[in-house]
Amino acid sequence: MDILFDTANLDDIERLTPIYPVTGVTTNPSILKKEGRVDVYKHLRRIREIIGPDRTLHVQVLQKTAQGMIDDAHRLLDKIDDKVYPKIPTTEAGILAMRTLKAEGVHVTATAIYSKTQGFLAIASGVDYLAPYYNRMQSLDIDTKGTLTALSGFIRRFDAPCKIMAASFKNIVQVSHALEAGADAVTLSPKLLRQALSVPDITNAVDTFIADWESVYGTRSLPDD
Ligand SMILES: O=P(O)(O)OC[C@H]1O[C@](O)(CO)[C@@H](O)[C@@H]1O
């Protein structure tokens, strides 16, 4: 299972990567916008430094034509490093860009996925990750779980070297539903993870165990022997 941080915030990535079992970081232009007008390549190289070479870094291209997307992907690989996964929107131009980049041996993440059709086209184009937009699909009344289950079935049936990285989460329930439906990976903001762990019931359970111990032994520590 892959869990990725959907953020470009350096403080969060630096502080939380050692804590959570994250396997990578995803960004897009809207996520980068939250950091202000940063020196974008420097910023992304710093993310790479923090997460190290073994975690994946997914960065979106900006152009809408196939050639523009390919040029953007090359720019990202050149300016950040050759391990970056360019994120290519799954449009008609994007499909051509994906196929061209895969033929060059580049890792590719297909993004902006709302449908099974986009998904199977990206799978057939040989991409490494598919990023279906969980919350945005739900808001359109699309059968999100059914779409993920079908895509996961296609991947298995055709033995495609592709993982589903569900994205666009607005609450933690969507995340577990995506995993139940067949997502191999989920990308979510660190804030969602922290919110999920800071519910009062969890804290209360831990406090009650300590209080029970203390009421018997008069201390909050385990004995040395
Ligand atoms: O709906 P949102 O919150 O804008 O999310 C869009 C999603 O698309 C992605 O760009 C796909 O990787 C994620 O980084 C993000 O989770």
33, 87, 102, 191: the active-site residue: 87
| pLDDT tens digits along 155-199 | 999 999 999 999 999 999 999 999 999 999 999 999 999 999 999
Fold for the domain defined by 2-188: TIM Barrel (3.20.20)
Domain ranges of the chain: 2-188, 192-225
Query: Is residue 133 lining ligand 1, measured as CB closer than 6 Å?
Result: yes
Q: Name the residue with the closest Cα to ligand 1, atom 4.
A: 168
Does the pTM exceed 0.90?
yes
> According to the model, what pLDDT value does residue 96 have?
98
| pLDDT tens digits along 41-99 | 999 999 999 999 999 999 999 999 999 999 999 999 999 999 999 999 999 999 999 99
Query: Is residue 72 lining ligand 1, measured as CB closer than 6 Å?
Result: no
> According to the model, what pLDDT value does residue 60 have?
98
Question: CB under 8 Å to 54, separation ≥6 — which residues?
Answer: none
Cα distance between residue 205 and residue 84, in whole Å: 42
Told to judge if 87 belongs to the known catalytic residues of this protein, a careful annotator would answer yes
Q: What's the mean pLDDT when you consider all of the chain?
A: 97
What ipTM did this prediction achieve?
0.95
Both tokens of 82, joined, read 């050759």
Which residue in the block uniquely carries the two structure tokens 């390919």? 70
Q: Name the residue with the closest Cα to ligand 1, atom 13.
A: 167
Burial of 66 (0-12, 13-18, 19+ CB in 10 A): buried
> According to the model, what pLDDT value does residue 181 have?
97
> According to the model, what pLDDT value does residue 187 have?
98
> According to the model, what pLDDT value does residue 18 have?
96
Cα distance between residue 36 and residue 13, in whole Å: 16
Query: Is residue 30 lining ligand 1, measured as CB closer than 6 Å?
Result: yes
> According to the model, what pLDDT value does residue 91 have?
98
> According to the model, what pLDDT value does residue 72 have?
98
Residues of the chain above pLDDT 70, percent: 100
> According to the model, what pLDDT value does residue 121 have?
98
The residue-averaged pLDDT of 116-121 equals 98
The residue-averaged pLDDT of 108-130 equals 98
Cα distance between residue 41 and residue 118, in whole Å: 29
